Structure 1
Amino acid sequence: MTAIPFDEYDAEAYDVEAQQVGAPVDPPDRPATFAELIPRQGQRKPIVPAALRSPDQRSALARWAAGYGLHTIAYHLTRSPKYAVKVLVYAPRGMWRVGSAVVFWAAGGRENLHLMNTAANRDDAQTWQSLEHTRARRAAGRLWGAGLAGGVGGGLVVVCAALGDVPPAGWWAASVGLVLTAAHYGRPADRPILDRVTPGRAYRKLTAETVRAALLATGHGKAPGDFLFPREIMRDGPGYSALVDLPAGVTAGMVVEKREQVAGSPALRLPLDQVWFKPGRHTGQVEMWVADQPLSLTPQPAWPLLKAGRADIFAPLPFGTDERNNPLSGLLMFVSILIGAIPRMGKTFVLRLLMLAAALDPRVEIWAADLKGTGDLRMFQRLARRYFVGDDDDEIESLLASLRELVGEMRRRAKVLRGLPADVCPESKVTPDLAANRSLGLHPIVVGIDECQVMFTHPEHGKEFEALCTDLVKRGPALGIILALATQRPDAKSLPTGISGNAGARLCLKVMGQQENDMVLGTSMYRNGFRATQFALTDKGMALAVGFFDAPTVVRTYYVDAPTAERVVDRAMALRGEAGTLPEPGEERPRVKAYNLLADVRAVWVPGETALWSELVVPRLAELRPDVYGAWDVKTFGAAMKAAGVPTVSIHRKLDDGKGATRYGVKLDALTAALPAEKRPGIGN
């Protein structure tokens, strides 16, 4: 038999290389440069803890500490007689326990007692004698030490008593300390002397083991080692934060969807509003934040503008806090705002809050439309330039006429900006200086419309509402016109894609599905892990905010009820009175007379013609209603006609010189078919 050397069995003696497939594409190995090593150090840890970075967090911590301390003192003072009885019962027992423990220790202790008993039971005399000799030798030294300590202590007491240097309070303090110590050692292990001021914590300290066990409850992972931590678990505000790299093939959105399973897992067993997720730096990373207590039990700071202060529409305005209770402010200027939710989740409260913030800037002109008709925006009636309530035909037609006027105002502003010098308006948008110049008429206009689905689903004017609002959403922000739309039906009909796809800022409260989520927040937001479906029905006022901050953020909006909003409007009116932007008492708000575009086109129609070019119709409309159609051109007319259901088409006609030409216009048969029956010629008109 041939002997095989041992080292041939050793697998480490061989260089194992993977089989190369295809041409080599890996870059050559080279030493790393200093510039490449610097970024690998990772993010630096903050010097100041997260809970102490903001004044609000420091104030909240100080208030909590003071309140908790006073409550603890009062709680124990009321139970002091009960504690005194416990001390009197437990102190003698404790003195006996301490005394016997000292005697046993001085006599050699209990270290080898069980071994001596075992040797005696086995009749092992030699072992027993050896252990006894060890105990006796140990006891000799301990007895001397105990005697010396007792003598020194007793001598000090006698000397202090003889000299009288210790005041009576000192003797009482020492006696009380000895009695309390004795009572502590004399009490049963399961019966503390002091009662608990608060029940046990509603959370556990977050550890890697706890996080892994909770995430395994989602079903996305086979072993705890599948979840990795790129940084240590840290204290972040009133809770713990853990950044987790997920297993291969698992995205942050898949984990966010299982938030309920994570909160209820055996590792946590916490309320749903105590566990929060948000995507990390890539789709395979998620941040898990566990609060000390449920968010519903955490008091929220008051809105900073509730009792004092004025707003600046060109600067970020406070409108909520995050799940850690850090204040959040967002810029309302230069964006169109979209708010969506299922009913009874606080959508109208959020819209009203944003409008209140804008109203505290005296330069801002407020338009309010409450299409639900319950008067939720009635406090703005006193200062709003336009105010609509309900879905009656008169209100709908007046709102439509006002939006047409607003589109005309938008075009006027574009002409004004276009005519300003480059040094005055370098970016071709409204600035604070331009807004303050009243002669230019470029002050910001905030239009808040609640239940906007009433407009877009209107059987007669829905298409035109869609066209007008789409134009305002796209071009209005740069010209100082801010459109804020709120709806409880975020679907394709109630929220046209031209509007949902162009809104710059979005707030999505609780919704029920992926389609509604993406209609409000934007395409693929649900897939990327930003899901308003994670909110519970009790999370009223909680929203996912997109476009206000660098990344999508969970916002707990400030709560301002209707009576409080009335008081805020009082302050807003006072500010406007000082600035001279408040209408005079008794001044009637402008109400635009409603009109029908198709009926007006039919009224200016040339008799005997079956089709007319747009360039012939527009001047006649301007003569009919100069205040409405005076600024219209062919493109405006074409867009309005398309929204009204009669798009312009190519029409070929012969000119006076006999030559033919093709231009866009309107055909009479299409116009007549689209007109209501009572407005057609010969039928009641």
Structure 2
Amino acid sequence: MLPIRAEYSPAARFTVYVLRPAWLWRREIACALVLAALGGWAWIRYGLGAAVGIIVGVVAVCLAVPVLRRTLGLMLWRGRLRRGWDAACRFAGLATVNDRIPRIVKIRAVPAGEHMRVRIPKGGTVEDLASEAERVAVCLQVREVRVTRDVDRAHLAEVEVIRRDPFLPDSAQTVSGVIGWPWADAHRLDLWNPVPIGIDELGRHVTVTLPGRNLLLGGEPGAGKSSALSVLIACAALDPTVRIWGLDAKRLELALWRPVLDRVVANDIDEAIAAATDLQAIMDRRYEALEAAGRRNVTPADGPLYLVPVDELRFFTAHSDRKKRQAFNDLAIDLAARGRAAGIILAAATQKPSTDVVPSSLRDLLAYRWAMRCTTKDASDTILGAGWATAGVSAATIDTRTPGVGLLLAEGDTPRRVKSCYLTDEQIRAIAARGKALRDHYGHRETDEGDQRAA
């Protein structure tokens, strides 16, 4: 029996057990009444056989015509979901004193389940619904229910009903497999614009804005860090105004990008320190120019952005030579702290950026965090930040069958499960070739004489 807040009077019982179910089943009742009316009219006019024939014919037409079948199926699906939501909210104790519950305003099917907009009744709050999300999920018999408050209106909430992992190969509505980068065939791009990097559980493209931000990518070997890093490099490669200085401890991950790399550092700590020193000089000179101009941040007119992808950051930050390691770490911390406003973007990938591998003073300056599959909750918290695993957000729960899937903490206050786009070796070679042609055409290496002298 559904719990109600109203008094158990005859009127209340009639409302609860007659009017409310009738309203929740109104779509199905309306369809039945239409069929009954058509059948009754045909029975009276032509007899029983004609009535049965008309009913069967109407049902057959609705099932045979794709538009009618989709419309009818969508209507019945929404009705079933609304009934389940009504019961779940009442069993979770979300009914107000006047027996109102959060009401579904809009429903949309997504790969992971459903995305709904919900109106909160007077006397309730979004926080009430969020606190009872687990009870609602139990009643709906789904994996998870996520609730987010509308930033502009307190009476509206965005609710995600997660029924399945859409990134698994055997998912009913899967987005597993290779996700192509939507800009793979582009001729020229602008790194100042948001960059598409993957797809989330709702099937939406996820973008990040790189200028003014730094990124930390972490996860166990084979989780997809290098593929995610390649997407960022690809956008920079197709922007002839961007300079790419790559640090590649394994010498292989950035090898295909060499035609568009302005500077390449392999597994040599001395070269890495020299490159970081040159970047620091460029940064200082830019700040002098900004100070003279009375501005606080660079614009596209001030010269090129610098993207610094680092594969296996731990090789440099945890080098065996203590003095050289400390020198590199001090430079990296300075670049991460002051380089953002000067147009220097640090994108670092490593396996587990724990304090003994990456100094916390450097790690904490990398605002964007992308945690690929991790072996432990502690490793996930090391990437995303302390406390997320306790809140139920952990990259250790990512299935091993879903390479490229990670928890992205970027433009928002909660990590999102995102599957990164993937570029094949052939696509990387083609993008690198187009990027080199663009640089040759626009004279990329001669656009900033001051930067040339510093380098």
Could you tell me which residue of structure 1 aligns to residue 281 of structure 2? 408
The sequence identity of aligned pairs, in percent, is: 26
Could you tell me which residue of structure 2 aligns to residue 134 of structure 1? none
Could you tell me which residue of structure 1 aligns to residue 270 of structure 2? 397
Aligned residues: 360
Task: Provide the secondary structure at the position in 1 that maps to 2:149.
Answer: coil
2:187 to 289, 303, 309: 309
Could you tell me which residue of structure 1 aligns to residue 301 of structure 2? 433
What letter corresponds to residue 471 of structure 1 in structure 2?
D
- Give the Cα separation in 1 of the matches to 2:382 and 2:406: 14
Could you tell me which residue of structure 2 aligns to residue 187 of structure 1? none
Q: Flag the 1:210–1:499 CA change in 2: closer, same or farther, 3 A.
A: farther
Q: Where does 1:1-20 land on structure 2 (aligned, <5 Å)?
A: none
Q: Which runs of 5+ in 1 are unaligned?
A: 1-141, 150-176, 185-200, 216-220, 269-274, 436-442, 584-589, 591-625, 629-685
Query: Structure 1 length as normaliser, TM-score?
Result: 0.46
Return the offset for 1:504: 2.1
Could you tell me which residue of structure 2 aligns to residue 280 of structure 1? 148
Please state if 1:418 is matched with 2:295.
no
1:361 to 228, 235, 239: 239
Return the offset for 1:560: 0.9
Larger Rg: 1
Could you tell me which residue of structure 2 aligns to residue 240 of structure 1? 114
- Give the Cα separation in 1 of the matches to 2:186 and 2:386: 39
Return the offset for 1:333: 0.8
- Give the Cα separation in 2 of the matches to 1:468 and 1:277: 44
Please state if 1:225 is matched with 2:92.
yes
Could you tell me which residue of structure 1 aligns to residue 219 of structure 2? 341
- Give the Cα separation in 1 of the matches to 2:373 and 2:48: 75
1:458 to 319, 323, 331: 319
What letter corresponds to residue 405 of structure 1 in structure 2?
D
Q: Which runs of 5+ in 2 are unaligned?
A: 1-42, 61-72, 96-100, 119-125, 151-156, 447-451
What letter corresponds to residue 449 of structure 1 in structure 2?
V
- Give the Cα separation in 1 of the matches to 2:367 and 2:162: 28
Q: Is contact 1:473-1:483 (8 Å) kept?
A: yes
Could you tell me which residue of structure 2 aligns to residue 190 of structure 1? none
Q: Flag the 1:289–1:581 CA change in 2: closer, same or farther, 3 A.
A: same
- Give the Cα separation in 1 of the matches to 2:103 and 2:292: 55
Return the offset for 1:291: 5.9
CA distances 1:174-210 after superposition (whole Å, capped 9, x unpaired): xxx99x98xx9xxxxxxxxxxxxxxxx9xx9873676
Return the offset for 1:470: 0.9
Q: Flag the 1:502–1:279 CA change in 2: closer, same or farther, 3 A.
A: farther
What letter corresponds to residue 256 of structure 2 in structure 1?
M
Please state if 1:546 is matched with 2:441.
no
Q: Where does 1:624-639 land on structure 2 (aligned, <5 Å)?
A: none
- Give the Cα separation in 2 of the matches to 1:310 and 1:563: 18
Return the offset for 1:338: 0.8
- Give the Cα separation in 2 of the matches to 1:143 and 1:305: 64
Could you tell me which residue of structure 1 aligns to residue 229 of structure 2? 351
Q: Is contact 1:242-1:287 (8 Å) kept?
A: yes
Return the offset for 1:243: 7.5
What letter corresponds to residue 369 of structure 1 in structure 2?
L
- Give the Cα separation in 2 of the matches to 1:457 and 1:145: 90
Please state if 1:484 is matched with 2:378.
no
Please state if 1:445 is matched with 2:306.
yes
What letter corresponds to residue 553 of structure 1 in structure 2?
R
Return the offset for 1:318: 1.5
Q: Is contact 1:276-1:288 (8 Å) kept?
A: yes
CA distances 1:280-301 after superposition (whole Å, capped 9, x unpaired): 239x997323369665433676
CA distances 1:389-446 after superposition (whole Å, capped 9, x unpaired): 3x3xxx22211221122222222222222222x3xxx3x21101112xxxxxxx2111
Q: Is contact 1:210-1:267 (8 Å) kept?
A: no
Return the offset for 1:242: 5.5
Return the offset for 1:457: 1.2
Q: Is the deviation greater in 233-242 or in 516-525?
A: 233-242
Q: Flag the 1:563–1:475 CA change in 2: closer, same or farther, 3 A.
A: same
What letter corresponds to residue 274 of structure 2 in structure 1?
A
Task: Provide the secondary structure at the position in 1 that maps to 2:298.
Answer: coil
What letter corresponds to residue 225 of structure 1 in structure 2?
A
Return the offset for 1:349: 0.8
- Give the Cα separation in 1 of the matches to 2:428 and 2:421: 12
Q: Flag the 1:267–1:553 CA change in 2: closer, same or farther, 3 A.
A: closer
- Give the Cα separation in 1 of the matches to 2:185 and 2:360: 39
What letter corresponds to residue 376 of structure 1 in structure 2?
E
- Bigger relative contact order (CA 8 A; separation at least 6): 2
Q: Where does 1:48-67 land on structure 2 (aligned, <5 Å)?
A: none
CA distances 1:481-504 after superposition (whole Å, capped 9, x unpaired): 111111111312222211221212
Query: Structure 2 length as normaliser, TM-score?
Result: 0.67
Return the offset for 1:539: 2.2
Return the offset for 1:358: 1.3
Please state if 1:579 is matched with 2:442.
yes
| Backbone CA RMSD of aligned residues | 4.2
CA distances 1:631-671 after superposition (whole Å, capped 9, x unpaired): xxxxxxxxxxxxxxxxxxxxxxxxxxxxxxxxxxxxxxxxx
What letter corresponds to residue 430 of structure 1 in structure 2?
V
Return the offset for 1:544: 2.2
Q: Is the deviation greater in 515-524 or in 401-410?
A: 515-524
1:558 to 421, 426, 433: 421
Q: Flag the 1:212–1:502 CA change in 2: closer, same or farther, 3 A.
A: farther
- Give the Cα separation in 1 of the matches to 2:233 and 2:413: 23
**Whose strand fraction is larger, Structure 1's or Structure 2's?**
2
- Give the Cα separation in 2 of the matches to 1:507 and 1:341: 9
Q: Is contact 2:352-2:383 (8 Å) kept?
A: no
Return the offset for 1:266: 10
